[in-house]
Structure 1
Amino acid sequence: MKLQFSGHESFICKHFWLKKGYDFVIGKGNFNAESAVIELGVGKNMVTSISYWLKSFGIVDHQSQVTQLGDFLFHDKQGVDPYIESLATIWLLHYSLLKTSKASIYTLFFNEFRKGRVDFTKEQFLNFIKRRMEDDEQSFNEKTVGSDLSVFIRNYLNPTYKDTKIDIEEDFSGLLIDLDLIRSFKSENAEGRIVDWFQIENKLQIDLPSEIVLFAILDNEMYGKSIPFKELLVGDNSPGVVFALSEEGLFNKIETIVKDYKGIVYTETAGIRELQIKRTLNKWEILHGYFKN
């Protein structure tokens, strides 16, 4: 799949934009129409950005049709969390952002770049993307990818870190910062210069519901009825990778899943650890069960 960068007009996804955009699409709004600025109550560049984030988070598909996830969350009557009041919803949206792969930088970071390091600088990540694009024989535009990288960091990082060109108040409205995934600190680089470093640690992720983890497992088309623990920990789009879970954190989530759902069994035989799904489960019913409680 061709790697895609930009489209957000340098705006992070704000907390209320997905619901606003969903309602606009349901109301037959046209993001390309001049009236969109008035109907959405934002500037022209923000209209473009809202349209981009709707597709990136999987709220609408590539044909701008509302998805099952969009209706599940934001429908006026049946939506389980239209105003994104639950942290579980943000975890679910984070998962969907990686799964759709429209915004390639998120998938690249969690599934590839981060596996080799915990701490990183912008320069290191930028160089990784450059090499990756060259391997795929794609042209690399440093300005475009650099802008994408800045938005990526701002989407997750609590705005104590501040780019001098960015309005810090704007960043406090970011959708993903409550996940507390990225930390920042200053340290010397290889040349002895003090630079900004960033860090995503694998943790227990205590505030991540096991139902969101189970949804991500059932939603992964690559998994069969028996899934090795290692695949769940480090495989592409695995719970361990997507949610930055430590080995203990993933094991704790699986323990809860096995306890709460009949037909799911965790086995450990001769050093081989597996999660076995012995009956058909509806991933959407599992989410409904979580949000109605």
Structure 2
Amino acid sequence: MKLNRAKATFGRHETFPLRYGWLPKGFEALTDDPEIFARPEDAMIRLGVGRNMVNAIQYWLQVTGLVTFDGGRGKPTRLGTTLLGTRGDPYLEDDATLWILHWLIASNAESATGFFWFFNRFPMPRFRDSDALRAIGEFSEQELKAPRSASTLKSDISTLLRMYAAEAGRTDEHLDSPFAQLGLVESDPDAGFRSLRGARPALPPVALQFALAQRFGAQPQQPALPIRVVLYSDEGWAAPGAAFRLTEDGLMTGLARVIEQDPRSYELRDTAGVHQLYRRGEVIDPIDILSQHYRGRAAA
């Protein structure tokens, strides 16, 4: 999803990071009762959380693209059914699922603009929360041309850091939020936090393949993307290399693993001195990638 300054949103998560069981529980509740979120009191009982957490669960279901809402009625998307259905990964036991959910959040420039900004546009590898707050304020004012309140932006930065950084001495929230496992943001004793690019050998090839399929699908008329564009955010698009915090060598290793697993998907070429990733044939359906992955996992 491309950044659109007219549709940018911040702070809709009620300051609650995405917790471990929320997506499966919310998805199951909505599958059983499509209007459960339109009745907050019933949702509170069904999900065992407070009203603000009900709103947060609904938000995260939407941001990840697992569910759409129309007039209070929720409907699982094809992505949601594939990812969390009985043939997918309903208990989030597969490491690839977590990386894919991260990509879905970090690439959602419209509904999770602060998260998109941090993973695709924030340049500081080591920073304090005050640095991030100042930078996102400048982004909102200068690029979006729509300044947000400091409290709203602070809410996004605080929620993101609590969601991704396992801070020493904090045992409750980072255990509830699985994204700290990815190591994309870490506490830094000198700078406050660090979010460094690396080789990411633990990144499952299917997660990178899914992100690439979505990226190519966003511009189906383009048969190739320069490696620079896959590595860094370009013209408002999310970049897999940035979202997964990959170095160039790490990205190239990841691409080699994707091509090795499916030689028909992509190939690397140098065209007029520009290193590019070409898709072979039609745009790959990201949902088909997930379906094939979970089928293989079930058969293993």
| TM-score normalised by length of structure 2 | 0.85
**Displacement of 1:270:** 5.9
**Residue 268 (structure 2) pairs with residue 259 (structure 1):** no
- Deviations along 1:221-241, whole A, 9 cap, x unmatched? 136212211111113312111
For residue 145 of structure 1, what is the aligned residue in structure 2? 153
For residue 114 of structure 2, what is the aligned residue in structure 1? 105
**Residue 101 (structure 2) pairs with residue 93 (structure 1):** yes
**Any residues of structure 2 matched to 1:195-206 within 5 Å, and which?**
197-206=192-201
Amino acid corresponding to residue 166 of structure 2 in structure 1: N
SS of equivalent to 2:267: strand
Amino acid corresponding to residue 219 of structure 2 in structure 1: M
**Residue 102 (structure 2) pairs with residue 73 (structure 1):** no
- Give the whole-Å Cα distance in 1 for the aligned partners of 2:202 and 2:294: 14
**Displacement of 1:139:** 3.8
| TM-score normalised by length of structure 1 | 0.87
**Any residues of structure 2 matched to 1:21-40 within 5 Å, and which?**
21-28=26-33, 29-33=35-39, 34-40=41-47
Gapped regions of structure 1 (runs ≥ 5) = 163-167, 188-195
Identity of matched residues, %: 28
- Give the whole-Å Cα distance in 2 for the aligned partners of 1:159 and 1:26: 35
Match of 1:19 among 19, 24, 32: 24
RMSD of Structure 2 on Structure 1 (CA): 1.9
For residue 165 of structure 1, what is the aligned residue in structure 2? none
**Displacement of 1:62:** 5.0
- Does the 8 Å CA contact 2:37/2:58 hold for their aligned counterparts? yes
**Higher relative contact order structure (alpha carbons within 8 Å, sequence separation ≥ 6):** 2
- Does the 8 Å CA contact 2:65/2:80 hold for their aligned counterparts? yes
**Residue 290 (structure 2) pairs with residue 274 (structure 1):** no
- Give the whole-Å Cα distance in 1 for the aligned partners of 2:257 and 2:26: 35
- Does the 8 Å CA contact 1:3/1:133 hold for their aligned counterparts? no
Aligned length: 276
Amino acid corresponding to residue 114 of structure 2 in structure 1: I
For residue 222 of structure 1, what is the aligned residue in structure 2? 219
SS of equivalent to 2:36: coil
Amino acid corresponding to residue 290 of structure 1 in structure 2: H
- Give the whole-Å Cα distance in 1 for the aligned partners of 2:285 and 2:154: 40
- Deviations along 1:117-175, whole A, 9 cap, x unmatched? 2111111111112122222342422222212211100111113264xxxxx31331103
- Give the whole-Å Cα distance in 1 for the aligned partners of 2:79 and 2:246: 23
**Residue 119 (structure 2) pairs with residue 121 (structure 1):** no
- Give the whole-Å Cα distance in 1 for the aligned partners of 2:195 and 2:272: 33
- Does the 8 Å CA contact 1:6/1:145 hold for their aligned counterparts? yes
**Residue 17 (structure 2) pairs with residue 43 (structure 1):** no
- Give the whole-Å Cα distance in 1 for the aligned partners of 2:272 and 2:169: 47
